[in-house]
Amino acid sequence: MNETLKPCPFCGGNAMFLTITNKSSQSSVGVMFKIKCMKCRIEFPKSYECEMYMDQDGGIRTGKDERTKAITDWNRRANDETD
């Protein structure tokens, strides 16, 4: 993950990943998450998914991973608000 979350477009507070649901199954562990401002508690109105599993060699692999998409969406909104 190269990108980081920009400050909240409304109050300038720090944004964070907020886990909302556990999506684990027998073969994988995953979470649904949102991006939320820690200060004014604004949430981006979309939820995203991140999933990990162990492969046959014992390595940890990432399955569905929407972390970058979530960051991009949040940062785009932050940019829009400042224009």
**Segment 14-53, which members bind Zn ion (CB under 5 A)?**
37, 39-40, 42
Closest approach, Cβ 32 to Zn ion, in A, equals: 21
Read off the amino acid at residue 22: N
| Shortest spacing between CB 42 and Zn ion, in angstroms | 5
> How far apart are the C-alpha atoms of 79 and 44, rounded to whole Å?
14
18 phi and psi, to 5 degrees?
-120, 115
Instruction: Give the nearer residue to Zn ion in terms of CB position, either 12 or 63.
Output: 12
| 28 bridge partner residues | 53
Residues that bind Zn ion (CB under 5 A): 8, 10-11, 13, 37, 39-40, 42
